[in-house]
Copies of this chain bind each other. A is one copy, B any other.
Amino acid sequence: MIENDIFRALSDPTRRAIFEKLAAGGMNASALREGMEISQPAMSQHLAVLRSAKLVREERQGRFVNYEVDPDGLALIAQWLEKYRAYWPARIEALKVLLKDMDQ
């Protein structure tokens, strides 16, 4: 079950930090490690978990592997959240403003 993978992947703070970094722009694994105090294998393993959760996708570029946010995982969380939208009415207005902004 993919929902399982997604929430499990995000339950680790290190993995959320990695994801947040990637959300600011695609990056290879070495660049991701900068300023994070994490070993190379640990990073590789975290990326594998994020990848199998469809939160991140990879792209070989020579001997580097570029990583970037995969919209699929986020869409699944959004979909999950929508099921319970009746419970967060307070945020509706904020979302409306947001959508209006994206309209231009």
| Residue pair B71, A88 in contact (C-beta under 8 Å) | yes
Number of copies of this chain that the complex holds: 2
Instruction: Answer yes or no: A36 CB below 8 A from chain B CBs.
Output: no
For chain A, residues 1 to 38, give those with C-beta under 8 angstroms from any C-beta of chain B: 1, 3-4, 7-8, 10-11, 13, 16, 20, 23
**Assembled-state Cα–Cα distance A86/B96 (Å):** 15
Interface residues in A72-97 (C-beta closer than 8 Å to B):
74-75, 77-79, 81-92, 94-96
> Would you give 16 A-B contacts (Cβ < 8 Å), ordered by A?
A7-B7, A7-B10, A7-B11, A23-B87, A71-B88, A71-B89, A71-B90, A74-B84, A74-B87, A77-B77, A78-B81, A81-B81, A82-B98, A89-B102, A92-B99, A96-B99
